Homo-oligomer: A and B are copies of this chain.
């Protein structure tokens, strides 16, 4: 299990940074499935025991790279009331955050489950409880999935479209179908 560490020590920062970028590079080269702990610590020039002092597993290390995105999400949720208009502001913020960190979000596919669950939890609270014959959980699942779908495509295709336009497209695709349902509640 990972030790508790004070983040101010330079060695800690360096170690974490090295491991993250090493993993990032290796994912591009071989794909996440084929990356081993040994690969990562060799590339990062970090001792084996050091790795396990910081992260429980490769998955943890991978997940740690998505902290900024998660924090942005948290910030948004704590600062806004969740109304019908605001979801698009959130999605825009996330498109922008990802674009800003170009290259940092290579493997959305592998944190899909995590991200999906995250979105889901908060979406459930904001969506109408009743509507014409579509279960609200299904609606939440749908909205989260569509967002991740577009984000995934966007990242995999190397950001060929600016964040703002992506968000507009997202809205164009998802809004018509969902609005009709949410209004008839």
- The reply on A109 being an interface residue by CB < 8 A is yes
Nearest residue, chain B, Cβ from A181 = B172
Select A180's contact among B142, B145, B172, beta carbons within 8 Å.
B172
Cα A161 to Cα B109 in complex, Å, equals 28
Residues of B within 8 A of A176 (CB): 176-177, 180
- The reply on A138 being an interface residue by CB < 8 A is yes
Q: How many copies does the complex hold?
A: 2
- The reply on A43 being an interface residue by CB < 8 A is no
A interface residues, tally (CB under 8 Å): 30
Residues of B within 8 A of A113 (CB): 109
**Cβ contact within 8 Å between B142 and A172:** no
Cα A172 to Cα B175 in complex, Å, equals 12
Residues of B within 8 A of A169 (CB): 133-134, 138
Residues of B within 8 A of A152 (CB): 141, 145
Select A146's contact among B149, B175, B180, beta carbons within 8 Å.
B149
What are 10 contact pairs spanning A and B, CB under 8 A?
A: A133-B169, A134-B169, A135-B161, A137-B157, A141-B150, A145-B145, A145-B149, A146-B146, A172-B181, A176-B180
Q: Which residues of A contact B (CB under 8 A)?
A: 109, 113, 133-135, 137-138, 141-142, 145-146, 148-150, 152-153, 157, 160-161, 165, 169, 172-178, 180-181
* In the complex, the 6 A-B pairs of residues with the closest C-beta atoms, listed nearest first: A145-B149, A176-B176, A173-B177, A176-B177, A141-B153, A177-B177
